[in-house]
A and B are shown apart, each in its own frame.
Chain A
Amino acid sequence: MRPVRTALAGALLGTLLLAGCGQDGGTTTASAPTTAPASPSGDFPVTVEAGNGKVTIAKKPQRIVSLSATHTETLFAIGAGPQVVAVDDQSNHPPEAPKTDLSGFKPNVEAIVAQKPDLVIVSDDQDQVVAELGKVNVPVLLQPAATKLDEAYEEIAELGAATGNKAKADEVVAGMKTAIDGLAAQAPKDKQLTYYHELDTTPYAATSKTFIGQIYGLFGLTNIADKAPDAAGGYPKLSAEFVAQADPDLIFLADVKCCQQSKDTLAKRPGWKNLSAIENDQVIQLDDDIASRWGPRVVELAEAIGAAVSKAGTS
């Protein structure tokens, strides 16, 4: 758990100063307004607890660089879009995001610095990018991939605090919670449905320990990949014959955009054509991007899962 520690200290200090001045007889008004939390930037400086420790941001950032597709989505959802000057080559949502050829996979520190950022957001500390940017005094926020829904919420709130959009971020989080809880509550859970979430044709799956697996868990679904030993990691390469024998009720494909997978291509795989999910038309094509990011569009993923569960529950 990484609690948001918005430094309300500044505001508090301002109030104390005001109070102190007041005790002096209320004659001095000149010094007080400089620290008063009247303007929107009054929340700064702010200290955020990120993956790279406590990061203090002196004033509201105006030139944000995001090297993470998830965080780009979040920034635009919480109203920080106008502050974003550059996003990496994988950030494809929303369309108005200023996409560049910056790479989040192999970050080039010079190219990042050339954007004159006053805040850089990453989800991975590739090639010590955090330390490198630290050398040139560019504040970096490392917000690693969430493993739980609560972590995803926290990261959104933290991005809100760090960019001066706390109120909107809290609103987004509250909206997500309401929507996802509502969808999960509606799902019929008496059927004990099993599912298989495919990331790659090899086939790679995601277990319940992953972020995505936790979302499915909310809908009362049982993941066939959970039988894979811990040693295989949260994203085991499953045996095709195991998937065939497990015969999941629902198959969710997160390899639609990358690899054009569909019910038809699954049916053509050796030994899979008689799977009940294929015969009963319970193969769900997800949006690869939405199914791999832990930003605000998780709600859309939850909607897709919810719809599939209701359909399977009634058929």
Chain B
Amino acid sequence: MVTQAGPSRARPLWVVCALGVLAVSMIAALLDGAADISPWQVVLQVVDWLPFFQVDSGLAPVEQGLLFELRLPRVLVAAVVGGLLAMAGAGYQGVFRNPLADPYLLGAAAGAGLAATAAIVLLPATTGSIPVAAFLGAVGGVLLAYTLGNTAGRAGGTATLVLAGVAVTSFLTAIQTFVQQFKVEELQRIYSWILGDVGGGWDQLWLVLPYAAVSAVLLLLHGRMLDVLSVGDEEATSLGLRAGRVRLMVLLAASLATAAAVAVSGLIGFVGIVVPHVVRRIAGGSYRIVLPLSLIGGAAFLVLADLVARTVIAPAELPIGVVTMFVGAPFFVVVLRMTRRAAT
């Protein structure tokens, strides 16, 4: 169960701190990479990109190109995707009043996985179709789970919805595995996609930004209502809140965020569950603070995870999904232990 909000005047301070962490993460991520460029030259080059500044970074055009076309958008995509996943996780956890809910719970990942696999197998000519397919698949998976959950149980019953999500996930994953068997030669590509990648360049950023903006605004606006919801449906209703409507809006916004993230990056696990938890441990359980801090913290987390993914065995790369789980899980346990000790 989530704890109630801390003193609300601390809120701006937390957000400022989190933004500071995010800024440091992004700068670090911009300075290091597989290409052997000195951090100082990167700094000069970044200054050169700023309007009204002209400095000579001494970088060759190819290196300038790789900084601007590869590294910079990659850092930005990682930030947006990480923010979306963590914020969606916080949203789902609020709706289901279950701290173990994550962005992939309601069949979003399975739907995206199936659709992306189908796109890879059936439309090999068009790599651009994978994000579109993943997006539609994620939305479709959630709609399927939601419809089943509502027909199977009482409308708005969150436990039924979660169980429907589990069933849909299993079923769609089975179909995906079935489809894979017919295109063995595409296994590598499907596998790469499932483990996640944020290296898509500016196109991916423009693709995800509108959805990111809409879902972020929607979710952040519902923070206060999720707080009211956390006291229980009956109390919330007596306070004048239409619980079912709030749930549906948050579900839609979180699913939109998940679908957008999945579409540009594949399946990146653990961000959506670990970041909101850490935020809650540090800044308290009010969704008015958990949602924005998850957005910023998730962004910082994924930017750093991607930095690890592309530098730890450079010039080879690790799939980012491996890093989020490998680094995230122990970190998560440490935070749990530390805050529990502090609490007792």
Using CB atoms and an 8 Å cutoff, list the residues of chain A in contact with chain B.
Answer: 90, 103, 105-106, 199-202, 204, 225, 227-229, 231-232, 236-247, 258-260, 269-275
Minimum CB distance partner of A269 in chain B = B201
Nearest chain B CB to A107's CB is how many angstroms away?
Answer: 12
Are A241 and B34 within 8 A (Cβ)?
Answer: yes
Q: How far is the CA of A273 from the CA of B65 in the complex (A)?
A: 9
Indicate whether A242 sits within 8 Å of B34 (C-beta atoms), given known contacts A229-B313, A237-B319, A260-B125.
yes
User: In residues 33-53 of chain B, which contact A (Cβ within 8 Å)?
Assistant: 33-37
Q: How far is the CA of A69 from the CA of B125 in the complex (A)?
A: 23
Are A244 and B35 within 8 A (Cβ)?
Answer: yes
Q: How far is the CA of A101 from the CA of B170 in the complex (A)?
A: 27
The contact sample of 5 A-B pairs, CB cut-off 8 A, is: A231-B316, A239-B34, A242-B315, A244-B63, A245-B62
Are B127 and A259 within 8 A (Cβ)?
Answer: yes
Are A200 and B66 within 8 A (Cβ)?
Answer: no
User: B248-284, CB under 8 A of A: which get 1 and which 0?
Assistant: 0000000000000000000000000000000000000
Are B65 and A237 within 8 A (Cβ)?
Answer: no
Q: How far is the CA of A239 from the CA of B317 in the complex (A)?
A: 6
Q: How far is the CA of A270 from the CA of B189 in the complex (A)?
A: 19
Q: Which of B66, B67, B70, B184 contacts A103 (CB 8 A)?
A: B184
Are A244 and B184 within 8 A (Cβ)?
Answer: no
Are A202 and B33 within 8 A (Cβ)?
Answer: no
The reply to whether the CB of B210 lies closer than 8 angstroms to some CB of chain A is no
Minimum CB distance partner of B188 in chain A = A200
**Complex A-B, nearest 5 residue pairs according to Cβ-Cβ distance, in ascending order:** A270-B201, A239-B34, A271-B69, A232-B316, A242-B315
Are B62 and A202 within 8 A (Cβ)?
Answer: no
Q: Which of A228, A269, A273, A274 contacts B315 (CB 8 A)?
A: A228
Nearest chain B CB to A72's CB is how many angstroms away?
Answer: 15
Are A240 and B62 within 8 A (Cβ)?
Answer: no
Q: Which of A199, A239, A241, A259 contacts B316 (CB 8 A)?
A: A239
Are A237 and B317 within 8 A (Cβ)?
Answer: yes
Indicate whether A241 sits within 8 Å of B61 (C-beta atoms), given known contacts A103-B184, A259-B189, A270-B73.
no
Q: How far is the CA of A242 from the CA of B74 in the complex (A)?
A: 14
Q: Which residues of A contact B61 (CB under 8 A)?
A: 274
Q: Which of B73, B124, B181, B314 contacts A242 (CB 8 A)?
A: B314
A-B contact count (CB 8 A): 114
The reply to whether the CB of B97 lies closer than 8 angstroms to some CB of chain A is no
User: In residues 140-199 of chain B, which contact A (Cβ within 8 Å)?
Assistant: 181, 184-186, 188-189, 192, 197, 199
Q: How far is the CA of A130 from the CA of B63 in the complex (A)?
A: 51
Minimum CB distance partner of B310 in chain A = A239
Nearest chain B CB to A45's CB is how many angstroms away?
Answer: 35
Q: How far is the CA of A85 from the CA of B83 in the complex (A)?
A: 57
Are A240 and B313 within 8 A (Cβ)?
Answer: no
Are A90 and B184 within 8 A (Cβ)?
Answer: yes
Q: How far is the CA of A275 from the CA of B200 in the complex (A)?
A: 18
Indicate whether A236 sits within 8 Å of B35 (C-beta atoms), given known contacts A103-B184, A245-B62, A259-B127.
no
Q: Which residues of B contact A237 (CB under 8 A)?
A: 192, 316-319
Q: Which of B62, B67, B200, B315 contacts A239 (CB 8 A)?
A: B315
Are B66 and A258 within 8 A (Cβ)?
Answer: no
Q: How far is the CA of A247 from the CA of B181 in the complex (A)?
A: 37
Indicate whether A227 sits within 8 Å of B315 (C-beta atoms), given known contacts A241-B35, A244-B70, A271-B65.
yes
Indicate whether A238 sits within 8 Å of B317 (C-beta atoms), given known contacts A244-B35, A259-B127.
yes
Are B62 and A275 within 8 A (Cβ)?
Answer: yes
Nearest chain B CB to A196's CB is how many angstroms away?
Answer: 11
Are B66 and A202 within 8 A (Cβ)?
Answer: no
The reply to whether the CB of B14 lies closer than 8 angstroms to some CB of chain A is no
Are A202 and B192 within 8 A (Cβ)?
Answer: yes
The reply to whether the CB of B71 lies closer than 8 angstroms to some CB of chain A is yes
Nearest chain A CB to B185's CB is how many angstroms away?
Answer: 6
Q: Which residues of A contact B192 (CB under 8 A)?
A: 200, 202, 204, 237
Are A239 and B33 within 8 A (Cβ)?
Answer: yes
Q: Which residues of B contact A274 (CB under 8 A)?
A: 61-62, 65
Q: Which of B62, B73, B318 contacts A244 (CB 8 A)?
A: B62
Q: How far is the CA of A227 from the CA of B316 in the complex (A)?
A: 8
Q: Which residues of A contact B318 (CB under 8 A)?
A: 237
Q: Which residues of B contact A271 (CB under 8 A)?
A: 62, 65-66, 68-70, 201
Given A241-B35, A245-B34, 6 other A-B residues pairs in contact with their CB atoms under 8 A: A105-B184, A202-B197, A238-B316, A241-B34, A258-B124, A272-B69
User: B55-84, CB under 8 A of A: which get 1 and which 0?
Assistant: 000000111011111110100000000000
Indicate whether A245 sits within 8 Å of B181 (C-beta atoms), given known contacts A232-B313, A239-B315, A271-B65.
no
The reply to whether the CB of B211 lies closer than 8 angstroms to some CB of chain A is no
The reply to whether the CB of B202 lies closer than 8 angstroms to some CB of chain A is yes
Are B316 and A229 within 8 A (Cβ)?
Answer: yes
Q: Which residues of B contact A105 (CB under 8 A)?
A: 181, 184
Are A244 and B66 within 8 A (Cβ)?
Answer: yes
Indicate whether A240 sits within 8 Å of B316 (C-beta atoms), given known contacts A103-B184, A259-B124.
no
User: In residues 299-317 of chain B, which contact A (Cβ within 8 Å)?
Assistant: 310, 313-317
Q: Which residues of B contact A246 (CB under 8 A)?
A: 315
Minimum CB distance partner of B62 in chain A = A274
Q: How far is the CA of A93 from the CA of B198 in the complex (A)?
A: 37
Q: How far is the CA of A229 from the CA of B189 in the complex (A)?
A: 22
Q: How far is the CA of A228 from the CA of B313 in the complex (A)?
A: 7
Are A258 and B70 within 8 A (Cβ)?
Answer: no
Are B189 and A202 within 8 A (Cβ)?
Answer: yes
Q: Which residues of B contact A244 (CB under 8 A)?
A: 35, 62-63, 65-66, 70
Q: Which residues of B contact A231 (CB under 8 A)?
A: 313, 316
